[in-house]
Amino acid sequence: MRILVINGPNLNMLGIREPELYGKKDYAALCAAIEAHARRLGVEVGIFQSNCEGEIVTRIQQALGREDAVVINAAAYTHTSIAILDALKAIALPTVEVHLTDPMLREEFRHISYTGMACEARFAGAGFESYLKALDYLHEKYLK
């Protein structure tokens, strides 16, 4: 199984941006945690991050025929991007939404998730563990 992990805007600023919300570990630590967990599960993982909506849409489209599933943290685009929603719907791969924090416990505008409308599961509010839970979910559902 090959899983694409997509990270949206500002996730490259982990450890710097609002550490009281997102923690003090940096983006490299997040990638290392994802890669180590994927190895333990015996799945391949590719990680992509962009601050640009169009680049995220293009990478989602490229997943068709290359990856078996998607884990996405679209960050702020979660609440604004119909383009990302449409790309996820177009490829129709099993997709899981993740968030480091729980958007439902934050500002009201974060309560709407366009990307979540194309996802079969969601893990939020557990920091890096949200990603690991998403990998576990996909592994359990599609490999066991």
| Per-domain residue ranges of the chain | 2-143
Protein fold of 2-143: Rossmann fold (3.40.50)
Catalytic residue among 22, 77, 131, 137: 22
**In the predicted model, is pLDDT for residue 144 greater than 70?**
no
Is 22 a known active-site residue?
yes
In this prediction, residue 17 carries a pLDDT of 80
Model pTM above 0.85: yes
Is 99 a known active-site residue?
yes
Catalytic residue among 77, 99, 137, 139: 99
SS3 of 94-137: the string is CEEEEECCCHHHCCHHHHCCCHHHHCCEEEECCCCHHHHHHHHH
| pLDDT mean over 76-103 | 95
